[in-house]
Chains A and B, each alone.
Chain A
Amino acid sequence: MSAKSGSATAERAEQGQGSRRPSESLTREECLELFKQLYLARYFDIRLIKEKKRGRLRGTLYSSHNQEAILVGSLFGLQSADWISPIHRDMPAFFLKDIKAGWDNDTRIGMTIEEVCCQVWGKEGSPGRARDNWSHIGSKSKKIIHSTSMLAGTIPAAAGVAYADRMQGGNCVVLTYNGEGSTAQGIFHEAINYAAVHKLPVITIIENNQWAYGTPTELESPLEDFADRAKGYGIPGLIADGQDVFDVYDKVMEAVNHAREGKGPAIVECKTFRAYGHGDHDDDRADKYRPAEEVEKGRQRDPIAVCRKKLIELGHLTGEAATSFMAEGKGAGEATNDDFPPEVVAYLNKGIEAAIASPLPAAEEGAMWVFKENN
């Protein structure tokens, strides 16, 4: 699948990009870090699917497999003080945020792997003390808007965060993540229209994975490119190849720079494909609504493979390193720990150990924190 750039909006965006793409300024180390983060996001997904299949986890896992380049590429260029608003398929975003401040840096403005694993395991160490499930966490101090099941329902909060930041003299941007399906919600329109009126630095990333649960895009919108929704708000609509971490980085950075200059919001559509079912409960039923050939085709451009090819072309991956850890194309059933860099496996192991060690919250907590108590 290749990025479509047929729309006038996308062409304008391409033209506005200038001669040098932001990713061309990345150092070799940064490029290799991006590559490693793709592994980290992939391993998180694969390992949790394995844990789930072993009956160690409750709740639903919404796989981000095949969509990791969107998370890694969009988060990499952010500043620590920036906010994000992930949704259900974006769990790696919680620990990828500000991870360049150090994977093990507990004071970075992103969640630790321990916190995220405690949440998945439903333990007390979760940032939300496991009161809502899986991706429904966030953190005011880590500048992550708490996700809910209402999808685009968090975009107005993102706009409000941006407005309040500006009122208090800040210069942050807010990245919101959405599926193409949630662009059909009324609140998507209300929130982006409001953000556009006030030129708020809110960037709406549309992860167009072509399936909204069991419904294909043509039944969600008549548009070929969801980025074209931007036209109705008078804001830029960019299209990125969601399989290419560098292209995502470039398009998101273009939108981020635009927003940080006070020019307002943008939409960045990342074209991708949902590799598995809507959630792990749905994996066995996905054949019912989408043909196997489409799935086969959609999985062909694995973001790890696309990145590897680019790094080899750039001369950043050579010799044995160019062909080691061939995780691409492998699902949870085929991949083993040997397909991943050992530091990636160790990182997640650390999180899982913390989650297992963390106690369950006390039952009484179920009735606590309905209201802020004023004494």
Chain B
Amino acid sequence: MAATTEAPVALKKNYLTALKEALDEEMQRNNLMLCQGEDIGRLGGAFGVTDGLQAKYGEDRVVDMPISEAAIIGSAVGMALNGMTVMAEMQFIDFISCGFDQIVNMMATYHYRTAGEVNIPVVVRGPAGAYGGGALYHSQMNEAWFCNSPGLKVVCPSTPYDAKGMLKAALRDGNPVIFYEIKELYRKREIEEELPTEDYIVPLGKAAIRREGSDVTLVSYGQNVYHCLDAATELEKQGISAEVIDLRSLVPLDEETIFNSIAKTSRVIVVNEAPMTCGFAGEVVARITTKAFHLLDAPPSRVTRMDTPVPWVKPLELHVLPSVDKIVNEAVRLVKF
């Protein structure tokens, strides 16, 4: 009788665990790396992204900082100037505005104003995004501020694989990176996946096609990627084939993947949960209009948050944010255009 062999049970990991592994592995491989932020050491972070790191790497390398976002970022810049790599955590990305000057005037410009003498390997990361009832100050997507500050890379992964690979890439990049994590995805069971056991990175600046289609392109990032995927499923029932692109990286932006898709579909909707005016969706639409206008059969469109803050209670919050229905309706309009 032949022996039966049992395949090892593959362990799926969530988005938060992926981030934790990235930090752990980079701390392991780089003795000159340090993590700092509010409550990241003893507590392990408000959401647990740094859980266990202080016990492993010590209080000098995983530092509980005072409630001083500007000093958290500014001191990271000084450490980078003096040879270190730093992960600076914002407890919520909403609080990054308290460190705004240090980011846009000190960190973003350092390489430029020193004619390349100084590199700033600092990753400022934190939980972002709405749909969780976090209200005005625990729901923001403020990425556009930083996309408008030359010298910063801005990224937003939507899967565990990307979360780990992009955080590792960001920490090795040598440029300052603002890293948007989607807190609603941290422990989302449906997106858990197996991660490679060997070292890997996901290069910054490359978009991913999450679903192929031929009638309309849905361009998004972060949590809205899942809204787009659900919209694509719904549109299929109506006989419309939607392609879904996950930008992953806003700066640098992978224009090629967007334009190649539009060449196929000739219609495009850009979806983001930031407000409309001067939001990143507007930038993507502008590039499509100026560089790929000839490929279009309908005006490029966008579905964004209304120009409002994010309100607290559910009906209000959902009212102002992009939704599957809003994306579907807009896609149908474009196809009939």
Contacts and interface: CB of A to CB of B under 8 A. Distances in A.
Contacts of A368: 115-116
Contacts of B71: 156, 159, 187, 190-191, 193-194
B89 interface: no
Given A153-B105, A160-B82, A161-B79, A191 B115 contact: no
Contact of B117 (A139, A155, A161, A370): A139
Contacts of B102: 153, 156, 187
Contact of A138 (B60, B74, B114): B114
A163 B78 contact: yes
Interface string A145-165: 110111001111111111111
B119 A372 contact: yes
B143 interface: no
A187 B78 CA distance: 14
Contacts of B73: 156
A157 B74 contact: yes
Interface in B63-89: 65-66, 68, 70-71, 73-84
Interface string B92-105: 00000000011001
A46 B115 CA distance: 29
Contact of B115 (A131, A159, A193): A131
A128 B113 contact: yes
B101 A163 contact: no
A374 B174 contact: yes
B35 interface: no
A197 interface: yes
Contacts of B13: none
Contacts of B83: 164, 168
B111 interface: yes
B74 A128 contact: no
B151 A132 contact: no
Contacts of A155: 74
Given A146-B110, A164-B83, A167-B84, A187 B32 contact: no
Give the most central of A146, A156, A167: most B CB within 10 Å: A156
B115 A194 contact: no
B118 A140 contact: yes
Contact of B70 (A127, A156, A370): A156
B34 interface: yes
Interface string A90-130: 00000000000000000000000000000000000001110
Interface string A332-375: 00000000000000000000000000000000010011111010
Contacts of A187: 70-71, 74, 101-102
B296 interface: no
A37 to B, nearest CB: 27
Contacts of B109: 148
The residue among A154, A159, A161 with the most chain B CB atoms within 10 A of its own CB is A161
B132 interface: no
Given A140-B117, A168-B32, A193 B66 contact: yes
Contact of A157 (B61, B106, B116): B106
A199 interface: no
A42 interface: no
A139 B112 CA distance: 13
Contacts of A160: 74-82
A136 B112 CA distance: 12
B168 interface: no
Nearest to B150: A370
A14 to B, nearest CB: 31
Interface string A162-178: 11110110000000000
Interface string B158-177: 00000000000000011100
Contacts of B75: 156-157, 159-160, 163, 191, 194
Given A156-B70, A167-B34, 10 more contacts: A128-B113, A149-B105, A150-B106, A159-B71, A165-B82, A190-B68, A191-B70, A365-B115, A368-B116, A371-B111
29 contacts: A127-B114, A128-B113, A128-B114, A128-B117, A131-B112, A131-B113, A136-B113, A139-B117, A145-B81, A148-B106, A156-B71, A156-B78, A160-B80, A160-B81, A161-B78, A163-B75, A164-B79, A167-B32, A167-B61, A167-B84, A186-B70, A187-B74, A190-B66, A191-B75, A193-B71, A369-B111, A369-B115, A371-B153, A372-B175
